[in-house]
Amino acid sequence: MSEKTRAIIVRRYGGPEVLKWQEIKLPQLGPTDVLVHHTAVGLNFIDVYHRTGLYPLDLPLTPGVDGAGIVEAVGSDVDDLGTGDRVAYTGNGPPGSYSERRILPRTRLARLPDAIDDKTAAAIMLKGCTVEYLVRRTFPISAGDVVLLHAAAGGVGLIASQWLSALGARVIGTVGSEEKGELAQANGCDEVILYRVQDVAARVREITGGRGVDVVYDSVGAATFEASIGSLRPRGMMVTFGNASGPVPPMSPLLLSQNGSLFLTRPVLAHHYADPTEAANGIAALFDMVTSGQVTPHIGQEYPLPDVADAHRDLENRQTVGSTVLVT
């Protein structure tokens, strides 16, 4: 087993130019560890937050929170995985997936079903597990619920609209262009709002006959927060789970009472996938949705892993559609 591999290294916070492809030394394989050779890695907006320092981590760091690959070696205490097995993992641990090979604890890995290929796994692990906890645990969706989903044509958005539709929700999605609107509607959105040219909250009120939506799932952050609050019914729930446009500024709790005794939550995946049993159940639910055909991820673009800086630029400039996969 070679002691070295190649990976993306960030030595200072900054723009995409700080992402450097370099040779690094692998740590020692522990008794409960698994050496994985990545075949496909996911691109997620949290990778940008780690690169810029919005979510600060110790430097130097290797970004990337999910991936798929093949087992190359296992520790002495690992008896349920072996060389050649296909595995994947989500973001319930430190980053590091922007690498050719990586050592991970056995508890972070899920065996991939034959029906899910490696690129599909890389496209769904963080995004799909995020959708799982949002629609099953943060605000459990029931048939007939009305949902406002921001960035509906993004990687999370397309998975969420399909999953929400399968649960019987009425889905209103916001998108940046007519082309993205068509894609969102083809993936489960009942209505789309062009946020660049339409007043989101006013259009939501029009669509819902003045009632508002039961829940808003908002990964955009600062740019959409006010419209999200204005789109909710009394006692509705605002779920802000991302900062694509920047973090939401500080606000007074009175804003929630003034808009109808609203609920506000800021969940993260790590708190829903920290327990191994909860993580296994969440991943199983995701795999069931995919293998049953109720959720089909849309891989809009692929990049070689060494060229991930280009992927970051396109993601930040909203030039991507659906999920992005980095191939090794």
Half-sphere exposure of residue 158: CA atoms within 13 angstroms, side-chain side: 23
Write down the domain spans for the chain: 4-124+272-327, 143-266
What number is the average pLDDT over the span 162-176?
97
Q: Which pLDDT tens digit goes with each residue over 176-190? A: 999 999 999 999 999
78 forms beta bridges with: none
Q: Is the dihedral of CA 218, 224, 226, 227 positive or negative?
A: negative
Tokens of 229: 């609050």
User: What is the spatial distance between Cα 227 and Cα 197, in angstroms, rounded to a whole number?
Assistant: 13
- For residues 318 and 324, the answer to whether their CB atoms sit within 8 Å is no
Burial of 17 (0-12, 13-18, 19+ CB in 10 A): exposed
List, for residues 27-84, the tens digit of each pLDDT value: 999 999 999 999 999 999 999 999 999 999 999 999 999 999 999 999 999 999 999 9
Lowest mean pLDDT among 1-15, 226-240, 259-273: 1-15
What is the predicted pLDDT for the residue at 3?
A: 86
Measured in whole angstroms, how far is the alpha carbon of residue 256 from the centre of its chain? 27
Q: Give residue-wise pLDDT tens across range 144-165.
A: 999 999 999 999 999 999 999 9
pLDDT tens column, 54-65: 999 999 999 999
At residue 1, the pLDDT reads 47
Average pLDDT over residues 119-127: 96
d(CA 40, CA 43): 10
SS3 95: coil
The residue whose two tokens read 């590091």 is 96
Q: How do residues 252-306 score in pLDDT, each as one tens digit?
A: 999 999 999 999 999 999 999 999 999 999 999 999 999 999 999 999 999 999 9
What is the pTM assigned to this prediction?
0.92
- Angle among Cα 243, 247, 249 to the nearest 5 degrees reads 150
pLDDT value at position 255?
96
| 259 CA to centre of own chain | 29
- The confidence score (pLDDT) of residue 211 equals 98
How much is the mean pLDDT over the chain?
96
Q: What is the mean pLDDT of residues 202-230?
A: 97
Side chain identity at residue 122, one-letter code = A
Beta-bridge partner residues of 194: 175
Per CATH, domain 4-124+272-327 is 3.90.180.10 = yes
Locus of tokens 């979510």: 55
Q: In the structure, what pLDDT confidence band is assigned to residue 318 with cuts at 50, 70 and 90?
A: confident
Query: Superfamily assignment of 143-266 in CATH?
Result: NAD(P)-binding Rossmann-like Domain (3.40.50.720)
CB 25 within 8 A of CB 1: no
- The reported pLDDT for the residue numbered 271 is 95
Cα distance between residue 185 and residue 102, in whole Å:
38
Q: What is the DSSP string of 125-192?
A: HHHHHHHHHIIIIIS---TT-EEEESSTTBHHHHHHHHHHHHTT-EEEEEESSHHHHHHHHHTT-SEE
Rounded Cα–Cα distance for residues 320 and 278 (Å): 31
For residue 32, give the 3-state DSSP assignment: coil
pLDDT-based confidence at residue 226 (cuts at 50, 70, 90): very high
- How far apart (Å, rounded) are the C-alpha atoms in residues 9 and 21? 6
The pLDDT of residue 243 is 87
Q: 2 pLDDT band (50/70/90 cuts)?
A: low
d(CA 96, CA 63): 5
| Measured CA angle at 82 (ends 4, 76), to 5 deg | 75
What tokens were used for 248? 């939401």
**Residue-level pLDDT at 225:** 96
Task: Answer yes or no: is pLDDT of 124 > 50.
Answer: yes
